[in-house]
């Protein structure tokens, strides 16, 4: 009677955690007397989930696993023996008891191993997803996959080259009316060649949905090409935005172009064309033709725009219209190529240059 009474308080103390319970496989050796801390990132692994269960590792798992139950709770669930004050394991019913206890402990250990492994795997997957969404890309990785059409890292648009812009058509109403007011394209482009220097200004009608800077660049580059009117170093062209100018190349709507051409008794309304308004200082470039081209050139927009500039400035320099002289030959730049490529049954090929070369 006295023996059983002595064990009852001990069981109660074990249940409350005042006396640590040692699992069966830790029967030998000393017993810790302080309460067990939960197993976390920095805690020492207990025998219930020890190194032999999930394999020895170089350090703690890289994720914060849920706290493991204290040793007393693990022992209670497994039905293992209760350690006495001496620290030895309690024998519960001989060999059969040891067998049952060992099997139960093994089952609990296996279950805990699966749980911990699942927590580590889940945590690793979560971190991998977080790195994918939040981490900065590897240096150079994005550059290798970025195509030229995609936005640059600073959010700006990919630069479109001069040739690409000159090759495009742009929407514009063929009967459009503009404001009738002009603005000079700012900036200055030096005369790059030799010979006589001719200065020109570029004006664009206000409100036109076209790139005035592209137009100004095109005029300067075209006129200073060796195939143009400066061929052989006889002259060179300088673009100014203020001060004296020998002529003004003007991009204007069809209606405004017609009005300025009429000042020189020229009618551009029939074929919606351009003109050199000789009675004024303006070489008028019809914005509809600049934007949409002509059937004679099809989709060859860059070449058509070069022809348009050379043809009208050619009039300013004193050149008159010419005809196709030889079938299959390049058309003279002063032929009215916007309207046709055939004269008197002789058809020429489109040509943008006064001196195209062979």
Taking only the tens of pLDDT, the chain with its 358 residues reads: 444 444 444 444 444 444 444 444 444 444 343 433 433 433 333 433 333 333 333 443 333 333 444 444 433 434 444 343 333 333 334 444 444 455 455 555 554 554 444 454 444 444 434 333 333 333 333 333 333 344 445 566 689 999 999 999 999 999 888 999 999 999 999 999 999 999 999 999 999 999 999 999 999 999 999 999 999 999 999 999 999 999 999 999 999 999 999 999 999 999 999 999 999 999 999 999 999 999 999 999 999 999 999 999 999 999 999 999 999 999 999 999 999 999 999 999 999 999 998 5
pLDDT on residue 314: 98
pLDDT on residue 141: 35
Other CB atoms within 10 Å distance of the CB of residue 128:
10
DSSP H helices in the chain = 2-16, 51-54, 71-78, 94-134, 141-145, 162-166, 212-223, 254-262, 287-292, 301-316
In terms of C-beta density within 10 A (0-12 exposed, 13-18 middle, 19 or more buried), how is residue 141 classed?
Answer: exposed
pLDDT on residue 51: 34
DSSP category for residue 344 = T
Other CB atoms within 10 Å distance of the CB of residue 228:
22
Distance CA 48, CA 109 (A): 6
CA angle, residues 343, 346, 352, in degrees to nearest 5? 75
Contact 338, 312 (CB under 8 A): no
Assign 236 to helix, strand or coil: strand
Pairing label, strands 235-240, 247-252? unpaired
Contact 294, 337 (CB under 8 A): yes
pLDDT on residue 158: 83
DSSP H helices in 66-93 = 71-78
Contact 255, 178 (CB under 8 A): yes
Residue from 92, 99, 84, 104 nearest 19 by CA: 84
Distance CA 298, CA 296 (A): 6
Contact 236, 196 (CB under 8 A): yes
pLDDT on residue 341: 98
pTM of the model: 0.58
pLDDT on residue 106: 56
Q: In angstroms, what CA-CA distances link 10 with 15, 86, 226?
A: 9, 12, 109
DSSP category for residue 328 = T
Distance CA 32, CA 253 (A): 96
């Amino acid at each position: 009677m006295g023996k059983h009474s002595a064990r009852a308080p001990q069981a109660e103390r074990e249940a409350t955690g005042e006396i640590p319970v040692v699992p069966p496989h830790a029967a030998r050796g000393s017993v810790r007397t302080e309460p067990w801390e939960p197993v976390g990132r920095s805690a020492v692994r207990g025998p219930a989930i020890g190194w032999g269960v999930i394999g020895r590792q170089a350090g703690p798992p890289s994720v914060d696993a849920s706290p493991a139950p204290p040793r007393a709770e693990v022992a209670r669930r497994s039905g293992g023996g209760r350690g006495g004050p001496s620290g030895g394991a309690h024998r519960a019913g001989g060999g059969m008891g040891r067998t049952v206890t060992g099997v139960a402990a093994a089952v609990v250990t296996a279950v805990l191993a699966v749980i911990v492994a699942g927590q580590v795997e889940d945590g690793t997957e979560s971190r991998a997803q977080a790195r994918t969404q939040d981490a900065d890309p590897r240096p150079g990785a994005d550059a290798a996959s970025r195509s030229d059409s995609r936005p640059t890292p600073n959010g700006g648009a990919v630069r479109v080259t001069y040739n690409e812009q000159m090759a495009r058509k742009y929407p514009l109403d063929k009967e459009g009316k503009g404001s009738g007011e002009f603005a000079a394209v700012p900036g200055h482009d030096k005369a790059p060649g030799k010979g006589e220097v001719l200065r020109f200004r570029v004006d664009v009608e206000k409100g036109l949905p076209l790139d005035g800077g592209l137009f100004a660049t095109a005029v300067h580059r075209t006129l200073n090409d060796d195939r143009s009117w400066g061929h052989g170093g006889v002259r060179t062209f300088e673009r100014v935005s203020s001060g004296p100018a020998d002529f003004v190349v003007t991009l204007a709507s069809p209606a405004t172009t017609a009005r300025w051409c009429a000042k020189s008794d020229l009618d551009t309304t029939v074929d919606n064309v351009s003109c050199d308004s000789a009675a004024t200082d303006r070489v008028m470039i019809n914005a509809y033709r600049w934007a949409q081209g002509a059937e004679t050139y099809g989709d060859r927009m860059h070449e058509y725009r070069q022809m348009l500039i050379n043809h009208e400035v050619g009039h300013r320099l004193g050149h008159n219209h010419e005809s196709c002289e030889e079938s299959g030959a390049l058309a003279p730049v002063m032929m009215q190529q916007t309207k046709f490529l055939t004269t008197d049954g002789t058809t020429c090929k489109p040509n943008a240059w006064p001196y195209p070369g062979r």
